[in-house]
Structure 1
Amino acid sequence: MEAKLILPSRSPTATSSRRVEGRRCRPVRSVLARPKENFVMERLRLKKLKPVDTEGAASVHNDNWFDLLAINYLSETLQAATGLKSMRSGYESLVETTAMMSKRFSTKTQQKLVVKALENAIPKLILDMIRTLLPQSQFTREYFAAFTTVFFAWLIGPSEVRESEFEGRREKNVVYVKKCRFLEQSNCVGMCINLCKMPSQAFIKDSLGMPVNMVPNFDDMSCEMVFGQDPPASNNDPALKQPCYKLCRANQMHTVKSSGQCL
């Protein structure tokens, strides 16, 4: 028997077939991707809001059904007053709504919209009744302080009543908030000032007849609410001269002016 050497075919058809086969078997080494910058920006937009703690672990709030009812009601009232819409629920909805307000409206408009929302949230009849039945007195100032610690922990966090000197007497007219929930969650000085401090002071005085001075401490995120005390003028208020945090959630959209507010 004669041995024969059979060489591989060199025909164009066989070569083409092997090339096609080779291309089919090659592993995928790369894929087309969107530009990195767009991907990062999308991740930032979709990133879930998380509290930022300057000292360590973030505060944990176990909201009960009443807390959630109050939080969602205030958030929905703000959305109705501004025309904005949040798809979140609970405290995240409140923070997201106020964050959108801080980006879309001027500081003065933000304050007016919050006052409007608070007026819409509480019937005028009740506001007038409180103002009539609780005129300025030591009892009223202490009542406001005690009421705030009991019924507004869902908004500001745990707090306690402390004493201060008022017209030569010691009164329990101060609410001390160890770590403000809104400031911790928003992590923005401008939002604290324009969406909490300034409108709350105006609403409580104009609608309830009670002067109040809110004194936030931006170093440890504590706050004091002194009932019966008028706040200082804007040009003398230390809070309005405070620069925002380096990790402020809104610092990409705001600039810090000499007043210290995120504008």
Structure 2
Amino acid sequence: METTITSCQANICSILKSSHHPKLPRIFPKYGSSVSSAMTRPGSITTTSNNISPINFKIDTGDNNNTIIVESKTVHNDNWLERMAINHLSKAVQETAGLEIDVAWYKGLVMVCEAMFKEFSLKQQRQIVTKALEKAIPSSLLFVIRTLMPPSKSTREFFAIFTTVAVRWLVGPGEIRESEFEGRKERNVVHITKCRFLEESKCIGMCTNLCKMPTQEFIHRTLGTPVNMIPNFDDMSCEYVFGQEPPAQEDDPAFKQPCYKICNAKRKHSTSCLS
């Protein structure tokens, strides 16, 4: 949903537009006058809303080059079971990486990932995440799933449905979509509306190295079904295409985009954050 704010909010426009306004450093102390260039796409800032789905407000300043988009931050109300899953995965990552973060719930999970992203090489990061997933998910369960569900249309569609239900707490709400597989239509695609991990970390490198690559490898190796994860760094959505082989890293568009300017991992904002 996008709404144009008219002249009755002209004072807001003037505050955001003026880099010398005395209130600006107090409202945005971290970014100062650079609010309009906070993200990779200029003119995007993040605020918090109580809505589950973010709402965009378009503020018309009269100058197309200075139009500012204010986007709310998704709020996730995790239940007790989802919190247990978050803490379980966070603990597995910490034990595997040899790190300790004394923060619970999703914030703690993101913090340990940020620490790992800074401390280890990209190759080590992927190895740690893969081992953490093996520790977090019983190998006997994975063996049963792989044995009873060899690659097929029904298996790919089952994995898509299971993903939208089982990992909602990790990546956010998703929906099943259709794609063409070997000449016929299948409901084997999961579209994540806005990835929770990417939104919280604000780091494209963490998305590709701590989520996309190790998850693709883990699912293919343990379940026998390839999956291609296709993040959209403009709107933070993502698609999981079950049955589709992911491209080689050197050909993957996800590794050709610079990181956000407010990357929480404090890495250099260039493609060196990704590879």
TM-score category, normalised to shorter length = 0.7 to 0.9
Q: Percent identity?
A: 55
User: Is 1:244 equivalent to 2:244 in the alignment?
Assistant: no
Task: Give the Cα–Cα distance (whole angstroms) in 2 for the partners of residues 135 and 52 of structure 1.
Answer: 43
Q: How does 1:124-143 map to 2 (within 5 A)?
A: 124-143=139-158
What is the TM-score when the length of structure 1 is the normalising length? 0.77
SS, match of residue 140 in structure 2: helix
Instruction: State whether residues 193 and 261 of structure 1, in contact with CA within 8 Å, keep that contact through their aligned partners in structure 2.
Output: no
SS, match of residue 57 in structure 1: strand
Instruction: State whether residues 52 and 187 of structure 1, in contact with CA within 8 Å, keep that contact through their aligned partners in structure 2.
Output: no
Q: Which residue of 1 aligns with 2:62?
A: none
Q: How does 1:80-119 map to 2 (within 5 A)?
A: 80-119=95-134
SS, match of residue 226 in structure 1: strand
Q: Which residue of 1 aligns with 2:247?
A: 232
Q: For residue 256 of structure 1, report the CA deviation from its aligned partner.
A: 5.0
Q: Which residue of 1 aligns with 2:217?
A: 202
User: Is 1:261 equivalent to 2:250 in the alignment?
Assistant: no
Which of the residues 178, 201, 205 maps onto 2:193? 178
Task: Give the Cα–Cα distance (whole angstroms) in 2 for the partners of residues 73 and 208 of structure 1.
Answer: 21
Task: Give the Cα–Cα distance (whole angstroms) in 1 for the partners of residues 46 and 132 of structure 2.
Answer: 27
Instruction: State whether residues 112 and 199 of structure 1, in contact with CA within 8 Å, keep that contact through their aligned partners in structure 2.
Output: yes
Which of the residues 162, 165, 170 maps onto 2:180? 165
Root-mean-square deviation (CA), in Å? 1.9
Q: Which has the higher strand share?
A: 2
Offset from partner CA, 1:71-109 (integer Å, 9 cap, x none): 000000000101101111110010001000000000110
Q: For residue 257 of structure 1, report the CA deviation from its aligned partner.
A: 5.4
What is the TM-score when the length of structure 2 is the normalising length? 0.74
Q: For residue 57 of structure 1, report the CA deviation from its aligned partner.
A: 1.0
- Compared with structure 1, are the counterparts of its residues 55 and 81 closer, same or farther at alpha carbon in structure 2 (3 Å cutoff)? farther
Offset from partner CA, 1:100-144 (integer Å, 9 cap, x none): 000000011000000000011112221111111110000000000
Point out where structure 2 has 5 or more consecutive residues left out of the alignment: 1-28, 31-44, 48-68
Q: Which residue of 2 aligns with 1:154?
A: 169
Q: Which residue of 1 aligns with 2:91?
A: 76
Alignment-mate amino acid for residue 117 of structure 2 = S
- Compared with structure 1, are the counterparts of its residues 236 and 92 closer, same or farther at alpha carbon in structure 2 (3 Å cutoff)? same
Task: Give the Cα–Cα distance (whole angstroms) in 1 for the partners of residues 143 and 149 of structure 2.
Answer: 10
Alignment-mate amino acid for residue 205 of structure 1 = H
SS, match of residue 242 in structure 1: coil
4+ long deviations beyond 2 Å: 51-55, 254-258, 260-263
- Compared with structure 1, are the counterparts of its residues 55 and 225 closer, same or farther at alpha carbon in structure 2 (3 Å cutoff)? farther
Alignment-mate amino acid for residue 117 of structure 1 = A
Instruction: State whether residues 87 and 93 of structure 1, in contact with CA within 8 Å, keep that contact through their aligned partners in structure 2.
Output: yes
